[in-house]
A = this chain, B = another copy of it.
Amino acid sequence: MTQKILVLPGDGIGPEITAQASRILAACQARGLDIEIDEGLLGGAAYDVHGEPLPAETLEKAKAARGILLGAVGGPKWDKIEDLAKRPEKGLLGVRKQLGLFGNLRPAITYPQLASASSLKPELVAGLDIMIVRELTGGIYFGQPRGIEERDGERVGFNTYIYTESEIERIGRVAFEMAQKRGKKLCSVDKANVLEVTILWREVMERLAPEYPDVELSHMYVDNAAMQLVRAPKQFDVVVTGNMFGDILSDAAAMLTGSIGMLPSASLNESGQGMYEPCHGSAPDIAGQGIANPLATILSVAMMLRYSLDAPALAQRIEDAVGKVLDDGLRTADIASEGTRTVSTAEMGDAVLAAF
């Protein structure tokens, strides 16, 4: 059966990098992958046309798609929009929520060819391979009540950090299963010494543990986790945490690999439908110059093939092609170093395609 793929270029460098990733998708098609590719507007790009970051048409296409490839959303151009509901980011959050993409997989891997690009000492990051499992449709991102209102003569801003047992259990299972397939270590990150919601989080993780006897479960407070990531990141295998902590820790982890321009991510729901996007953002400062790194987006296609399209062999070929291109010394400006050849976004796409 033909599977639908939706490409959402988004804002900033989004269109440039998804253009290269789309070429890889087309090449997969040419190799027999039975997909149908469509495009849509999300974020600031959608706001500019429709006055809202997630138009009904895009949502409809997204719901019908098995896999969604997103570039990135947001930029200073839309930061001044008064109504938070109209900002580009809300388009992204809307897709996550509407499609129930609760399971966010954020690998933090150091590519051997790029270890020296890390701000950490090479021995601390060489061979680093962490998988951060972030809950993506709950927590303080979506909790009610929320808002800004007048109380006792002054304005008050408030949000609600909330999780139900079943939400925690659902993401917990994703993380335990991921740990089973990897190094069999799971670290759950919370702030159970202060926040009740994370006491429940910890309890549920403890309750699930006996069902996964081959996985060693540990707990860490979020402040300590931030420190340990900086101090000795290789101590981690799989990390599971809520939406807000996951946002912070996964970005810190991605950055310390030195390979942030290379890192894909997946956001999955229970039926394996998923949205795939690079970990880096929309980088408005370099948008339109043709110098952005398309590799994280190309590797997001590989993740899509693996997690939503059940085509692991093609996924592996893409990953191998990217490895080969790096071995050949090709680099976009963000990952360039002495002795490598700096190429444009399109040239990088050409090279991966040639190696594919």
Contact = CB atoms under 8 A, between A and B. Distances in A.
Interface in A256-272: 256, 260
A328 to B, nearest CB: 26
* Consensus secondary structure, chain A interface: helix
A155 interface: yes
A226 B251 contact: yes
Number of copies: 2
Interface string A117-146: 001110010000000000000001101001
Contacts of A155: 164-165, 200
Given A161-B159, A255-B231, A196 B146 contact: yes
A157 B146 contact: no
A224 interface: yes
A136 to B, nearest CB: 12
Interface in A187-246: 191, 193-201, 222-224, 226-227, 229-232, 244-245
Given A119-B121, A120-B119, A154 B140 contact: no
Given A121-B120, A148-B200, A154-B165, A195 B159 contact: yes
A158 B197 contact: yes
A248 interface: yes
Given A119-B231, A161-B159, A199-B84, A166 B154 contact: yes
B156 A158 contact: no
B165 A156 contact: yes
Contacts of A347: none
A223 B248 contact: yes
Contacts of A177: none
A187 to B, nearest CB: 16
A29 to B, nearest CB: 34
Interface of A: 74, 79, 84, 87, 89, 93, 119-121, 124, 140-141, 143, 146-148, 151, 154-166, 191, 193-201, 222-224, 226-227, 229-232, 244-245, 247-252, 254-256, 260, 281
Given A140-B195, A155-B200, A161-B161, 11 more contacts: A84-B196, A89-B194, A119-B124, A148-B200, A154-B165, A156-B162, A156-B200, A157-B162, A158-B161, A159-B196, A226-B248
Closest 6 CB pairs of A and B: A157-B200, A157-B197, A227-B255, A226-B252, A158-B162, A223-B251
